[in-house]
Amino acid sequence: MKVLVINAGSSSLKYQLIDMDNESVIAKGLCERIGIEGSKLTHKVPGKEDYVIEEAMPSHKKAIELVLKALVDPEHGVVASADEIDAIGHRVLHGGSTYTESIKVDEDVKRVIRECFDLGPLHNPANLMGIEACEAAMPGKPNVAVFDTSFGMSLKPYAYRYAIPEEYYNKYKIRRYGFHGTSHNFVSHETIKYANLPEGHQRVIVCHLGNGSSISASVSGKAVDTSMGLTPLEGVVMGTRSGSIDPAVVQFLCDHEKLSADEVLTILNKKSGVYALSGNLSSDFRDLSKAEAEGNEKAKLALDAFRHSVSKMVGAYLAVMNGADAITFTGGIGENDAEMRHSILSHLGFAGVKIDEEKNSQIHGKRAEISTPDSAIRVFVIPTNEELAIARDTVRLAF
């Protein structure tokens, strides 16, 4: 069975065609600059040269048409016709409080995705366009929506409600939703399987550390807390996002810099985080680590602030779950940056965490247990694979 996974952004669209018989990637690619001049599609097939189509993509509909064109291309393609694609799985940012699980797309599902445009203004419209483009290009094929927010739906009200007047929750459903849900769900379940954690001892903290970073606490694969909130801005310090700050900062900046709330939020989303603390040096942790090693004080401040905020959140989740059975690192930084894992874990000696330093230093982008046999909490690196998680849900729900 072949599943096409679509991750549509406002001006980009990533895709993967996965053979679910062995869960391998048959082809993948990226459409860039949709709706902007200079759009192009880059199509990658393992063992072959990249195939680039430079053609105007005024809409997501056109982008999907080009994806199918690349997939069936006589020279660069991987299938004889689109008929070989059995189902399509879509990453959808926001499902509001309606969907606690992935779901096969019908008119009701599309209505809810539309109703959540307010909550995910950049992503939900693009996600819906991706779905409608696939419906038009592959009529009759099942589409499944996999929501980034559904993992957070198992939180108890005391964990998801903000302590603000009830009417705002009732009217607008302002609450903690959490994001990176597909990754947290996948990695927490993979941790349970890989570590063979016994029933009743499946308290897992997942540190998804990438350009965007979030931490989750889950018991038996069900989230009990997660660090992102109504939007992905809340939580730990990130690449360009501030993470949690005193909301009064927004009003202060509006007043003193004569900015609108929208403009301040753009600054907090795109010009803050380690990028800002490093004096706009970079949001990329490889650049920052190099600069820190060369004695750059601002790069050190940025990385220290990141280490501080992540270890603080992990400590909070140890309290939330009265301990943990496993802590797992994932995401570009979590999977690759051994020094960052070391410094975050060095704050957890109080909880009996002991790291096999040599093992930790050798692990880049692959599964491993990096704690010592006598560590009170086992520590893992497990690469995330959101596309595979989406494809698995698609197979489960499409037919």
Residues that bind ligand ADP (CB under 6 A): 210-212, 239, 284-286, 331-333, 336-337
Distance separating alpha carbons of residues 139 and 176, to the nearest angstrom: 36
Name the minimum Å distance from CB 336 to ligand ADP. 3
Tokens 């970079």 belong to 282
Nearer to ligand ADP, 92 or 397 (CB): 92
Nearer to ligand ADP, 89 or 212 (CB): 212
Distance separating alpha carbons of residues 186 and 114, to the nearest angstrom: 26
Distance separating alpha carbons of residues 295 and 243, to the nearest angstrom: 26
Nearer to ligand ADP, 66 or 313 (CB): 313
Nearer to ligand ADP, 177 or 306 (CB): 306
Name the minimum Å distance from CB 273 to ligand ADP. 10
Looking at residue 161, its amino acid is R
Name the minimum Å distance from CB 367 to ligand ADP. 16
The residue sitting closest to ligand ADP, measured at its beta carbon, is: 332
Name the minimum Å distance from CB 239 to ligand ADP. 6
Name the minimum Å distance from CB 333 to ligand ADP. 4
- Active-site residue, 148 included: yes
Name the minimum Å distance from CB 34 to ligand ADP. 18
Name the minimum Å distance from CB 56 to ligand ADP. 26
Q: Which of 368, 337, 342, 364 minimizes the C-alpha distance to 353?
A: 342
State the catalytic residue, choosing from 108, 148, 225, 337: 148
Nearer to ligand ADP, 179 or 317 (CB): 179
Distance separating alpha carbons of residues 353 and 342, to the nearest angstrom: 11
HEC readout, the chain: CEEEEEEECCCCEEEEEEECCCCEEEEEEEEECCCCCCCEEEEECCCCCCEEECCCCCCHHHHHHHHHHHHHCCCCCCCCCHHHCCEEEEEECCCCCCCCCCEECCHHHHHHHHHCCCCCCCCHHHHHHHHHHHHHHCCCCCEEEEECCHHHHHCCHHHHCCCCCHHHHHHHCCCCCCCCHHHHHHHHHHHHHHHCCCCCCCEEEEEEECCCEEEEEEECCEEEEECCCCCCCCCCCCCCCCCCCCCHHHHHHHHHHCCCHHHHHHHHHHCCHHHHHCCCCCCCHHHHHHHHHCCCHHHHHHHHHHHHHHHHHHHHHHHHCCCCCEEEEEHHHHHHCHHHHHHHHHHHHHHCCCECHHHHHHCCCCCEECECCCCCCEEEECCCCHHHHHHHHHHHHHC
* Per-residue tokens: 289: 């680590």
Name the minimum Å distance from CB 213 to ligand ADP. 8
Sign of CA dihedral 320, 324, 330, 333: positive
Looking at residue 105, its amino acid is V
Nearer to ligand ADP, 234 or 337 (CB): 337
Active site residues: 148
